């Protein structure tokens, strides 16, 4: 049906359906026939994303909006005024559509080059964020909205191709967000000259977010932006920018948020960085170690003189500062992130007494030394602010002080990869706000019980908000019962006890309370049986129960756990029987490690469904099979270990692909019964092995 015929019949229906309700003159105008038609035709090309979207464990919309997804176009019907439709806002004095907000609307489909959205001549705000428009391109006709559009947000939508040149013609744009558009292969591209024009021509632009938009350009020495520019937010994180930082980027007097992280920027950060009068958030992190430098005196000035600075993140920017005994920073600072910045010396005595600081990250500064500072309780400062503390890989030593328990609002505590010794202080269990605790890879000792028998709780049972616990690679003692632990800590998602010294048992009860585990790492925990409770862990992403004494068969229900599973490691146990052929649904699996058992039979053919597999280690078993040449079809396979089994026969090339084992870097077929020669075709295709250092 042509647009004109559709419009004719729709007009008749629209007039008849509204005339009966309009018995008196109303000062509020209804949506026009033409604009209603434009919205309905836009909807025709779209559908609703399956309502089974699981945002329980990860929902960007929940993080962004505080709520999950919502099928927003469900009430778009001809029987109601379009000004009353979800996501549509009209100018009630004219009836014109001025805003369309479909963010997190569960919308899926293709936006065509001549979309009817451009038939809304008064559209000021267009928000399509967090929907699925994969294989769509931002239409070249976007410039048709140059007289009206002030806000455009297409972030997290799957758009691909190039951003059209005409986007720089939208002179009224106040806010533009093109960030995080990934179609499964490439990010959205923005030509460097379009980017420069966008910066220079949008004189009223206040917010420009291009995070993960592929610009891939060397920055000019002068961006030619007026210091009186209206820009308040400039996010150029992960855009492939290269070269030295233009000095005039730090002369933008209105700038409040600047993100240049995750690029390949070089040179010294200019002294003008400490003169931005309204700067609130600054992120220069991860531009390549030793590429981007900031002089210590400039950094100290930035810390002390920035009146409004709340969030500072300069990870992997070389500062090379010897920390003073007393840290003097602006009272406005809430978040200070300095990972891997070559800091030296001891942690300042007052580092935990900074009144308003909520996040402190000094991880990766392995030239730091000395003990963990005491938390001064005699200070008049209430110590109510610090919520996140990251001190992993810092070279710290000594014992953990009892005063650690005074940081009572702490939610995230990461102290892994240091040299801490002694017992874990019981005061740590008073931090009832704690969500994540990592003490991995230290030299901590002592008895740690999971459950209390007495009336006063002094163990992990008190930490009911805990979602992640990592005690691996220490010298603790204790016997933990897995089912009791999951019943007690019902929010726990990640449990890492590998090589911690703690023994784990299981009652194999038939009722399970916590089904939310995503990471379960119990290597070398003296396990004797395969825990049945794992069967209910449908969100599992990593399962490591290697180096135990688990006996019996790999259960047939193993395929039921995690369609999200990335790694399964059952190496060095006493498992017998065959490897179940149940892996067709493990589309995300990258590592299968079963070496060092007593497994028999053949390699399960359902592994050819696991297209992301990178590592398969079946060595040191009793498998009896011919060479599984079909593994050559796996496009990402890098490591294949079949050593010390009963494989036999000639190695044949029956792969369906032209170049089998194209990315293979390690192949171990030793100590088997193979005969004949390794096919020349394989040697010709082992190109990845030539590049292994």
Mean pLDDT computed over 353-362: 89
Residue 601 domain-assigned (yes or no): yes
Domain that holds residue 629: 561-571+586-693
Query: What is residue 681's three-state secondary structure?
Result: helix
According to the model, what pLDDT value does residue 21 have?
Answer: 44
Q: Are 343 and 312 in contact (CB under 8 A)?
A: no
Domain boundary among the residues 221, 254, 281 is at 281
For 30-87, the pLDDT digits (tens) are: 899 999 999 999 998 888 765 444 443 345 676 555 555 678 898 999 899 999 999 9
* Stronger pLDDT, 544 or 660, i.e. the higher one: 544
Q: Are 490 and 514 in contact (CB under 8 A)?
A: yes
Comparing 188-197, 207-216, 451-460, 627-636, the range with the smallest average pLDDT is 451-460
According to the model, what pLDDT value does residue 412 have?
Answer: 97
Number of domains in the chain: 2
Domain boundary among the residues 215, 250, 281 is at 281
Cα–Cα nearest to 202, from 126, 156, 151, 163: 151
Q: Rounded to whole angstroms, how far apart are CA atoms 616 and 47? A: 40
According to the model, what pLDDT value does residue 361 have?
Answer: 96
Comparing 7-21, 27-41, 183-197, 430-444, the range with the smallest average pLDDT is 7-21
**Is residue 7's pLDDT more than 60?**
no
Mean pLDDT computed over 562-587: 93
Residue 365 domain-assigned (yes or no): no
**Token code pair at residue 96:** 């014109």
Residue 423 domain-assigned (yes or no): no
For 149-200, the pLDDT digits (tens) are: 999 999 999 999 999 999 999 999 999 999 999 988 899 999 999 999 888 8
What secondary structure does DSSP assign to 161-177, as a single string?
SBPPGGGGG-TT-SEEE
Q: Which residue has the tokens 């003073």?
A: 324
Number of other CB atoms surrounding residue 365 within 10 Å: 25
The percent of residues above 90 in pLDDT, for the chain, comes to: 61
List beta partners, residue 265: 243
Residue 455 — very low, low, confident or very high, per pLDDT cuts 50/70/90? low
Residue 306 — very low, low, confident or very high, per pLDDT cuts 50/70/90? confident
Q: Are 116 and 145 in contact (CB under 8 A)?
A: no
Residue 256 domain-assigned (yes or no): yes
For 672-693, the pLDDT digits (tens) are: 999 988 887 777 777 777 665 5
Q: Rounded to whole angstroms, how far apart are CA atoms 645 and 393? A: 40
Mean pLDDT computed over 408-429: 94
Query: What is residue 345's three-state secondary structure?
Result: strand
Query: What is residue 403's three-state secondary structure?
Result: helix
Mean pLDDT computed over 320-337: 89
Residue 538 domain-assigned (yes or no): no
Domain boundary among the residues 231, 262, 281 is at 281
**Token code pair at residue 90:** 């009209």
**Token code pair at residue 269:** 């950060």
Mean pLDDT computed over 527-549: 93
Residue 604 domain-assigned (yes or no): yes
Rg (C-alpha) for the chain, rounded Å, is 30
**Average pLDDT in the chain:** 87
Residue 414 domain-assigned (yes or no): no
According to the model, what pLDDT value does residue 678 have?
Answer: 81
According to the model, what pLDDT value does residue 25 have?
Answer: 45
Question: H or E stretch including 12?
Answer: helix 3-19
DSSP 68: -
**Is residue 636's pLDDT more than 50?**
yes
CATH code assigned at 164: 3.80.10.10
Residue 342 domain-assigned (yes or no): no
- Nearest 5°: the CA angle 192, 194, 197 is 110
Comparing 134-148, 316-330, 455-469, the range with the smallest average pLDDT is 455-469
Comparing 457-466, 482-491, 575-584, the range with the smallest average pLDDT is 457-466
């Amino acid at each position: 049906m042509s647009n004109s015929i559709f419009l004719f019949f729709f007009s008749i229906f629209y007039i008849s359906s509204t005339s009966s309700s309009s018995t008196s003159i109303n000062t509020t105008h209804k949506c026009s026939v033409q604009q209603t038609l434009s919205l309905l035709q836009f909807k025709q090309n779209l559908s609703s994303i399956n309502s089974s979207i699981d945002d329980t464990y990860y929902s960007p919309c929940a993080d962004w909006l505080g709520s999950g997804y919502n099928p927003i176009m469900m009430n778009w019907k001809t029987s109601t005024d379009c000004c009353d439709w979800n996501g549509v806002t009209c100018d009630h004095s004219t009836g014109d559509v001025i805003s369309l907000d479909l963010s997190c609307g569960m919308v899926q489909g293709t936006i065509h080059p001549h979309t009817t959205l451009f038939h809304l001549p008064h559209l000021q705000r267009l928000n399509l964020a967090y929907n699925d428009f994969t294989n769509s391109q931002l239409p070249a006709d976007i410039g048709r909205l140059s007289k009206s559009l002030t806000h455009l947000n297409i972030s997290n939508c799957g758009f691909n191709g190039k951003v059209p040149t005409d986007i720089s013609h939208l002179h009224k744009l106040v806010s533009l967000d093109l960030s995080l558009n990934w179609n499964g292969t490439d990010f959205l591209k923005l030509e460097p000259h379009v980017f420069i024009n966008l910066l220079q021509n949008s004189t009223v632009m206040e917010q420009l977010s291009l995070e993960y938009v592929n610009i891939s350009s060397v920055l000019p020495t002068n961006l030619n932006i007026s210091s009186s520019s209206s820009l308040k937010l400039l996010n150029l994180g992960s855009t492939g920018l290269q070269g030295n930082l233009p000095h005039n980027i730090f002369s933008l007097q209105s700038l409040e948020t600047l993100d240049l992280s995750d690029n390949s920027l070089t040179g010294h950060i200019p002294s003008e960085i400490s003169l931005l009068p309204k700067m609130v958030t600054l992120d220069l992190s991860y531009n390549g170690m030793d590429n981007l430098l900031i002089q210590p005196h400039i950094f100290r000035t930035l810390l002390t003189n920035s009146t409004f600075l709340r969030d500072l993140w300069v990870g992997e920017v070389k500062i090379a500062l010897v920390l003073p005994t007393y840290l003097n920073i602006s009272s406005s600072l809430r978040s200070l992130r300095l990972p891997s910045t070559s800091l030296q010396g001891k942690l300042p005595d007052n580092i935990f007494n900074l009144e308003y600081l909520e996040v402190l990250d000094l991880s990766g500064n392995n030239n730091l030394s000395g003990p963990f500072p005491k938390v001064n309780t005699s200070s008049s400062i209430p110590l109510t602010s610090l919520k996140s503390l990251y001190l992993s890989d810092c070279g710290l030593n000594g014992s953990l002080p009892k005063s650690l328990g005074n940081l009572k609002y702490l939610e995230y505590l990461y102290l892994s990869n240091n040299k801490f010794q002694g017992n874990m202080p019981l005061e740590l269990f008073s931090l009832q706000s704690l969500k994540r605790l990592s003490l991995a890879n230290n030299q901590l000792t002592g008895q740690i019980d999971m459950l209390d028998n007495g009336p006063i709780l002094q163990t992990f049972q008190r930490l009911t908000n805990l979602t992640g616990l990592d005690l691996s690679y220490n010298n603790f003692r204790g016997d933990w019962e897995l089912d009791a632990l999951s019943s007690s800590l019902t929010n726990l998602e990640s449990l890492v006890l590998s090589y911690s010294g703690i023994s784990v048992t299981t009652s194999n009860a038939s009722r399970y309370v916590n089904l939310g585990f995503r990471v379960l790492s119990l290597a070398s925990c003296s396990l004797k049986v395969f825990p049945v409770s794992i069967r209910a862990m449908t969100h599992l992403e990593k399962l490591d129960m290697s180096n135990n004494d688990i006996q019996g068969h790999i259960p047939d229900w193993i395929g039921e756990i995690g369609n999200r599973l990335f790694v399964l490691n059952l190496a060095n146990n006493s498992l017998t029987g065959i490897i179940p052929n149940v892996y067709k649904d493990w589309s995300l699996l990258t590592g299968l490690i079963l070496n060092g058992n007593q497994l028999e039979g053949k390699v399960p053919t359902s592994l050819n469904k696991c297209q992301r597999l990178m590592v398969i280690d079946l060595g040191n078993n009793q498998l009896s099979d011919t060479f599984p040449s079909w593994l050559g079809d796996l496009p990402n396979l890098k490591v294949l270990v079949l050593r010390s089994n009963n494989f036999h026969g000639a190695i044949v090339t029956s792969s369906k692909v032209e170049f089998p084992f194209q990315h293979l870097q390690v192949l171990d077929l030793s100590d088997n019964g193979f005969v004949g020669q390794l096919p020349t075709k394989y040697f010709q295709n082992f190109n990845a092995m030539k590049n292994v250092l």
